[in-house]
């Protein structure tokens, strides 16, 4: 049952309408990593009425998170992020079911943590986790949106298994530059990145994503560049996979 009054603002948009809102309300989104990008995304998912949100993280709230991680405040310092996040998400929208997983996603546990999701929002901060999500999502046929941001910049890659290019298709190199606190991250970068990525997630959940791409967001200059991607038939992860509409 869709709460028409609560979501009237987005139902009024043709792309969403009642049908799209029903899809959102019937969806489960796993947010892996609820730091900069993931925390904003989780809040947006709760506000727009995603039916169930699973927050996955093993970190605690630290003072140097607060300038960019929107779900947390000074009262949350030292607490597990998933606990603080769940409380905030329920306070925003009590009709949303929130599952908490106080654990890091690894190659070993990735499938069990994301199983049953309609979509995975990758808010992690390293390529080992991203490739683990990439593989698990292809094994389980779950679409996902990869996000990353550092300093003023962000990148967003939505992936529909068997339909659009995956991270392996693109052969994205594993480059670990260090933490956001070391390299630097400006809060507008995570806001811009999450806004674009959540829009991509909604496109997937409402069945409207047609082609793969990389978006490169520049929060300093206020620009977003788009690079169209295509699947690689020789990809070891998805080369032989055929897309099945959900």
Partner 1 sequence: MKLRVRYFAMFRDIAGVDTLEMDFTGRKVLDLRKIISSANPEFERRGMLIAVNERYAEDSMDLHEGDTVAVFPPVSGG
Among 149, 156, 208, 211, CA closest to 183: 149
Cβ proximity to partner 1: between 46 and 133 the closer is 133
Helix (H) or strand (E) holding 194: helix 187-205
Q: Which two tokens stand for residue 58?
A: 């093993």
Please name the residues in contact with 8: beta carbons below 8 A apart, sequence gap of 6 or more: none
Return d(Cα 189, Cα 70) in angstroms, integer: 13
Q: Residue 180 catalytic? A: yes
Which residue's CB is nearer to partner 1, number 82 or number 185? 185
Give the active site residue among 137, 180, 235, 238. Answer: 180
Q: Are strands 28-32 and 52-56 parallel, antiparallel or unpaired?
A: parallel
User: Cβ of residue 210: shortest distance to partner 1, in angstroms?
Assistant: 15
CB of 106 to partner 1, least distance (A): 16
**Chain residues that interact with partner 1, rule: CB under 8 A:** 33, 35-38, 123-127, 147-151, 153-155, 165, 170, 172-177, 179-180, 183, 185, 214, 216, 218, 225-230
H/E segment holding residue 72: none
Shortest approach of partner 1 to residue 169 CB, angstroms?
9
Per-residue tokens: 4: 């028409």
Task: Give the nearest distance from C-beta 78 to partner 1 in angstroms.
Answer: 21
The whole-angstrom separation of Cα 13 and Cα 20 is: 10
CB-nearer residue toward partner 1: 10 or 188: 188
Give whichever of 170 and 195 is closer to partner 1, judged by the CB atom: 170
Q: What residues act catalytically? A: 180
């Amino acid at each position: 049952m869709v709460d028409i009054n609560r979501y009237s603002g987005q139902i009024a948009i043709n792309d969403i309408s009642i049908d799209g809102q029903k899809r959102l309300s019937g969806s489960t989104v796993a947010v892996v990593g609820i730091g900069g990008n993931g925390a904003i995304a989780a809040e947006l998912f709760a506000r727009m009425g995603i039916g169930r949100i699973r927050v996955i993280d093993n970190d605690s709230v630290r003072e140097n998170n607060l300038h960019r991680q929107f779900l947390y405040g000074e009262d949350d310092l030292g607490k597990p992020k998933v606990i603080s996040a769940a409380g905030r998400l329920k306070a925003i929208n009590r009709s949303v079911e929130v599952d908490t997983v106080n654990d890091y996603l690894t190659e070993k546990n990735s499938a069990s943590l994301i199983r049953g999701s309609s979509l995975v929002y990758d808010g992690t901060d390293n390529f080992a986790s991203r490739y683990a999500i990439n593989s698990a999502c292809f094994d389980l046929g779950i679409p996902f949106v990869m996000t990353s941001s550092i300093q003023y910049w962000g990148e967003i890659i939505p992936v529909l298994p068997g339909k659009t290019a995956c991270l392996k298709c693109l052969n994205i190199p594993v480059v670990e530059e260090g933490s956001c606190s070391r390299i630097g991250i400006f809060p507008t970068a995570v806001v811009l990145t999450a806004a674009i990525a959540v829009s991509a997630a909604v496109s997937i959940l409402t069945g409207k994503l047609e082609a793969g791409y990389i978006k490169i967001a520049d929060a300093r200059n206020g620009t977003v560049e788009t690079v169209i991607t295509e699947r690689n038939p020789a990809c070891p992860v998805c080369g032989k996979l055929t897309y099945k509409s959900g």
